[in-house]
Structure 1
Amino acid sequence: MNLNFIYSTNIRKGEKLFIPMNDLVSEYKRNKNKINKAIFKVINSGNFTLGEEVELFEKEFANFCGCKYAAGVGSGTSALHLSLIACGIGQGDEVITVPNTDIPTAMSISHVGAKIIFVDVDYDTFNIDTSQLEQKITKFTKAIIPVHIFGLPADMTEINRIAKKYNLKIIEDAALATGAEVNGIKVGSLGDVGCFSLAPNKILGAYGDAGIITTNKKYIANKIKISSNYGHSLKMNERKYGVGKKGITKWELLEEGYNERLDTLQASILRVKLSMLKLNIKKRIDLANNYTKYLSQKIKKQKYSNNFKHVYRAYPCFVKKKNYISKKLSEKGISTNSYYTPPLHLQPVYKRLGLKKGSFPVSEELSKELICLPIYPSLSKLNQEYIINNFNKLIT
């Protein structure tokens, strides 16, 4: 990259440069015809709830992840909640996860009546520190929810070893890591269940709330399909409503479920975007490699071995004076973000857990220094050069 010649191709003369954290409009414009065609196909069909588009997307996404089954749901939060239910987690159980994650990971545990047990993260990967896992396991522990942070998978080999030893379920929080891999195997297929958010700003994003789970266990997929559709039997979940060849579909309720279905319009959009996902992930990785190569070596970055495929939902850096740096970059039209500041155990909502400052020192230290830079498929190389050049000037 030529870092001596910096300008943006995204602005006209006289306009102020602005580089967002994500650019969903540019993504839509590049694929406008295909997306519009998919949307109008659903509108003209008159079928807006479940239906063929949802079934096809589930099959295509399962195939992408190398899993036997997938079940579309209303959001990534729904995916976590329903997966815990499907795995039999409930009142009095304990579930292990990390404090440097968004609240859906933790609140899904609370919402099924289980207790949140936090484990600190590794200083290099920012993922769950597997060396601390076993000391947190008790007779009440029933599951582990590893979070694949920023697009980098957790150490699933060690997590699976521990889970097998103690007969624990593994529910992958893959909200930030669609397409990531460990030893060539995609996340979502490395535990009992994989939970994905398909919100607009995710690696594979809908144009509204959406989520999906993956699994190789049929009973889990079936349970989630039933629970997400009010508790209707799978006959109703076959999306053959009304009068068919065998007459009127029987109305059969098996449980008090939830209204957490994947919307048909969103499924149609996601099918289009899934067909382009491999290319978009490659673009993210190329941009990340540029950051890693050209950003100042004084900046702390994630470290991981070659058997992990990082897909970069975000590009995290760790710097002193992050607020000052973020402010100065903003003045140059460069967006930044800082996640999980402070970590969940220090948030007011979890004061009831009785965890004090210093309980998870690595998560706390990293949260003070975390700054994420723009990274998305349509980010131009020239704009990335502009980001790198301005960022490096602020590092002393």
Structure 2
Amino acid sequence: MIPFLDLSAQYRVIGSEIEEAVLRTLRTGTYVLGEAVEQFERDFAAYCGTSHAVAVSSGTSALHLALLAAGVGPGDEVLTVPMTFVATVAAILYAGATPVFVDVDPDTWTMDPAKVEEALTLRTKAILPVHLHGRLPDMHALGAIARRHGLTVIEDAAQAHGAQRDGLRAGAWGNMGCFSFYPGKNLGACGEGGAVTTNDPHAADMIRSLRDWGQSGKYNHVRHGFNYRMEAVQGAVLNVKLRYLDGWNATRRSICQQYQEGLAPDLGRPEAIGDDHACHVYALRTTGRDVLQARLRDAGIATNLHYPVPVHLQPAYRGLGYREADFPVSEALARTMLSLPLFAELPVRDVDHVIATVNRLVLAEETSIPLPLLGARPYHEGALQA
């Protein structure tokens, strides 16, 4: 079976370094925050090109605290996209604010700047773009909109560790950038973890306080806070893995380029892969997605879905008041995207086998039509229907 993701393969390469770093940390007797986490914060801030990185317990807590540090609260609206993991929207609700959705761009599959100004109201406080699959949105355009209207930009960079454009990495474009170090991320811990990057010292200080029960000095609780601290062991693991991130990303981009060049031209593929894409996910598009996934599984190839139901149509978020067809691009993507195996240790021969198998299964069908909702790039209409 070709796995969708194999973390054990990564561990076989760097496991001894991780074990040494973890044991060294355990022997210090400091198990929450501490020097291992502080070292990671310094190194990750330098890597992202920001003045500060504040380590927290998860990507969700990073989003929550960034919103609070931006002054977002009840009565405020935050613009984001429905084509994301639910944590993006949950964090806005945690802050007491209202999520307002805008659709994604038909080519990049990320927040469409043309839709943003249409959604602005007097209650809009922040823009929260999502770097879907690891690709940066048009941050120049989004930043210009934010400056015109006095809004905060908070990047959901949970999938975009190391993505860069025009010399700026993900996490350095907005007022704050939020990262997840969930194990399957390009930079993943051995458990949960997250971080907020920023050049704003006041925001950094606020987040450091909020993550640790609102303290300013031991037992001096100056605000209502949370238990969102990073464990020392995760800091130790991330210190090791950060040194490998650029190499892993380069390999992931190479695999994605192999998919780009090898998959049949009438399959829907993402835009060209460049440095502005961390290649966390490689998704193709076909209307026969569910059948194709089943047949690939039968052929010994594991795949995944990111994300088959956009947030505005999730049962838990129906109360936000949106309906089917409100965001046609996101909904079309949700119905048709299939994520192929992608991790830095994936052998070239396995990538070739995935390509050959997909092409064989899909090209058995002969009809394809252009994407009416997603630009001129074609996808396979009617292929592999049950």
4+ runs of 1 displaced by more than 2 Å? none
Shift of 1:340: 2.0
Look up the match of 2:378.
none
Residue matched to 2:220: 252
- Counterpart amino acid of residue 340 in structure 1: Y
CA distance in 1, matches of 2:311, 2:16: 42
TM-superposed deviation, 1:49: 1.3
Q: Distance in 1 between matches of 2:257 and 2:109?
A: 18
The yes-or-no answer on 1:76 pairing with 2:43 is no
**1:7 alignment partner in structure 2:** none
Cα shift readout 1:366-395 (whole Å, capped 9, x = no counterpart): 111000001101000011111111011012
**2:371 is matched with which residue?**
none
Deviations 1:5-59 (A, max 9, x none): xxxxxxxxxxxxx111111111011111111100100111111011111110000
| Conserved? CA contact 2:257–2:273, under 8 Å | no
Q: Could you tell me whether the CA contact under 8 Å between 2:65 and 2:210 is conserved in 1? A: yes
1:370 matched to which residue of 2?
337
- The match for 1:342 is 309
Q: Which residue in the other structure is 2:88 paired with?
A: 105
CA distance in 2, matches of 1:26, 1:305: 24
Q: TM-score, normalised to structure 2's length?
A: 0.92
Report what 1:59 is aligned to. Answer: 42
The alpha carbon displacement at 1:332 in A equals 1.3
Contact 2:253 2:273 in 1 (8 A): no
Any unmatched runs of 5+ in structure 1? 1-17, 237-250
Pick one of 125, 132, 141 that aligns with 1:142.
125
User: 1:210 aligns to what?
Assistant: 193
Partner of 1:151: 134
Matches within 5 A, 1:1-396: 18-233=1-216, 235-236=217-218, 251-303=219-271, 309-396=276-363
CA distance in 1, matches of 2:48, 2:318: 37
Deviations 1:186-243 (A, max 9, x none): 010000000000000001000101001100000111100100011111x44xxxxxxx
Contact 1:125/1:304 (8 A) holds in 2: no
Normalising by structure 1, what TM-score? 0.90
Question: Structure 1 residue 341: deviation in Å?
Answer: 1.5
Q: In structure 1, how many angstroms separate the alpha carbons of the residues matched to 2:347 and 2:271? A: 25
2-structure distance, mates of 1:92, 1:301:
40
Q: Following TM superposition, by how much is the alpha carbon of 1:310 offset from its aligned partner in structure 2, in angstroms?
A: 1.0
**Structure 1 contact 101–343 (Cα < 8 Å) conserved:** yes
Q: Is the 8 A contact 1:315 1:372 kept in 2?
A: yes
Deviation at 1:305, TM superposition (A): 8.3
RMSD: 1.0
Give the aligned residue type for 1:345: H
SS of residue paired to 2:283: strand
* Higher relative contact order, structure no. (Cα contacts within 8 Å, ≥ 6 residues apart): 1
2:381 maps to: none
